[in-house]
């Protein structure tokens, strides 16, 4: 299923170009959306048939007439993989001349959940005079508490997948600082459940800035694939239901500036776009 949060954070299922409002199928609380999402993920196997039956009478909208919200609005943490594609590793090593830019040496880092925005929203660049780059990534949401989970078991802890843009200011500050500004984590367009994605480690990932394709890769080229990275993260910290794990960006990372439109498309997941502006008054 493609699970969406839309308009006033109602809960919906997307089929073709139609959004089915399934808010009434559970005790959904629009004032506590993240908690409601976590509960929904936990009971999803039990109510899947109920949802399918509910669709026959659900109120519907066309996709073009709704506002899509961030599909995971307020996780306790965002765990991110640095330099997790070989060609991006080469790209970073060439740019910074540092052979230690590898996921094996760097481990992972955290981003602020407050940096999340949804489709059609706007990235606000805090420093017009500094380079800020786009990074296209496949991300997933954790379905249940996980600690020391083996890669072979990781699929049992992943509810579904979505696209994520990891926006970064270039500079000497630590990654969490440079990647955690408000609006620096666009996600969307919805969560595609694991059973529909099937193999997350064989998905095409493409990103455009305006009409220019900047990034094009496949998750089969990940150094640590989705499951291996899950193992790595859960070996260090407990992953909570509703946490976001994002798998790193391929080569082709480049700058964005005011007026740009950035579009991310992931095979079997979907696509969404965001816009770029400066924060406050232009310097």
Q: Where is pLDDT greater, at 26 or 86?
A: 26
Concatenating the DSSP letter of every residue in 64-110 gives: GGSPBPPSS---S-EEE-SS-BHHHHHHHHHHH--TT-SHHHH--EE
281 has a pLDDT exceeding 60: no
Task: State percent of the chain over pLDDT 90.
Answer: 90
Residue 78 CB contacts under 8 Å (≥ 6 apart), including other chains? 110, 111, 112, 113, 115, 116, 185, 243, 244, 245, 246
Nearest to 216 by CA among 251, 262, 245, 169: 251
Q: Please state, in angstroms and rounded to a whole number, the distance separating the CA atoms of residues 22 and 57.
A: 10
Residue 259 CB contacts under 8 Å (≥ 6 apart), including other chains? 276, 277
The model carries a pTM of 0.94
Other CB atoms within 10 A of residue 3 CB: 23
| Dihedral, 69, 130, 102, 210 alpha carbons, nearest 10 | 50
How is residue 137 written in tokens?
């990534």
Task: State percent of the chain over pLDDT 70.
Answer: 94
Mean pLDDT, residues 58-67 taken together? 97
Determine the pLDDT at residue 282.
47
How is residue 123 written in tokens?
């990235």
Specify the 3-state DSSP secondary structure of 10: strand
Please identify, in words, the CATH class of the domain defined by 78-278: alpha beta
Mean pLDDT, residues 243-249 taken together? 97
Mean pLDDT, residues 111-135 taken together? 97
Mean pLDDT, residues 234-245 taken together? 98
Mean pLDDT, residues 240-265 taken together? 97
Alpha helix stretches (DSSP H) within 123-188:
175-179
Domain boundaries, the chain: 2-65, 78-278
Please report where in the chains the tokens 């959904």 appear, as a residue. 28
Q: Where is pLDDT greater, at 105 or 67?
A: 67
98 has a pLDDT exceeding 60: no
Mean pLDDT, residues 231-244 taken together? 98
Q: Please state, in angstroms and rounded to a whole number, the distance separating the CA atoms of residues 123 and 115.
A: 10
Q: Residue 92: pLDDT band by 50, 70, 90 thresholds?
A: low
88 has a pLDDT exceeding 60: no
Other CB atoms within 10 A of residue 235 CB: 11
Mean pLDDT, residues 165-179 taken together? 96
User: Would you say how long the chain is, in residues?
Assistant: 283
How is residue 162 written in tokens?
């979505």
DSSP β-bridge partners for residue 111: 78
Q: Residue 280: pLDDT band by 50, 70, 90 thresholds?
A: confident
pLDDT tens digits, 22-51: 999 999 999 999 999 999 999 999 999 999
CB 233 within 8 A of CB 186: no
Mean pLDDT, residues 68-83 taken together? 97
pLDDT tens digits, 137-158: 999 999 999 999 999 999 999 9
Specify the 3-state DSSP secondary structure of 140: strand
* Strand arrangement of the beta sheet that strand 261-266 belongs to: 122-125, 270-278, 261-266, 204-209, 212-218
Residue 275 CB contacts under 8 Å (≥ 6 apart), including other chains? 120, 121, 122, 123, 260, 261, 262
């Amino acid at each position: 299923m493609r699970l969406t949060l839309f308009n006033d954070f109602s809960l919906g299922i997307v089929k073709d170009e139609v959004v089915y409002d399934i808010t009434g199928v559970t005790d959904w609380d629009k004032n506590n959306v993240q908690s409601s999402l976590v509960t929904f993920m936990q009971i999803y196997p039990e109510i899947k048939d109920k949802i399918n039956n509910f669709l026959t009478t659900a109120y519907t909208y066309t996709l073009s007439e709704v506002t899509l919200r961030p599909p995971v609005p307020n996780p306790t943490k965002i765990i991110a993989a640095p330099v997790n594609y070989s060609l991006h590793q080469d790209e970073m090593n060439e740019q910074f001349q540092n052979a230690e830019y590898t996921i094996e040496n760097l481990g992972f880092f955290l981003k602020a959940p407050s940096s999340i925005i949804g489709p059609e929203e706007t990235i606000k660049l805090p420093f017009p005079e500094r380079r800020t780059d786009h990074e296209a990534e496949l991300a997933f949401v954790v379905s249940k508490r996980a600690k020391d989970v083996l890669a072979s078991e990781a699929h049992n802890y992943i509810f579904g997948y979505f696209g994520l843009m990891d926006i970064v200011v270039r500079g000497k500050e630590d990654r969490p600082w440079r990647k955690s500004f408000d609006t620096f984590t666009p996600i969307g367009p919805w969560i595609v459940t694991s059973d529909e994605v099937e193999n997350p480690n064989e998905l095409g990932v493409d990103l455009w800035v305006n009409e220019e394709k900047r990034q094009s890769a496949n998750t089969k080229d990940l150094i640590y694939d989705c499951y291996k990275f899950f193992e790595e993260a859960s070996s260090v910290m407990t992953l909570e239901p509703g946490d976001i794990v994002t798998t790193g960006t391929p080569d082709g990372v480049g700058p964005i500036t005011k007026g740009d439109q950035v579009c991310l498309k992931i095979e079997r997941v979907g696509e969404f776009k965001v816009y770029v502006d400066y924060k406050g008054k232009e310097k």
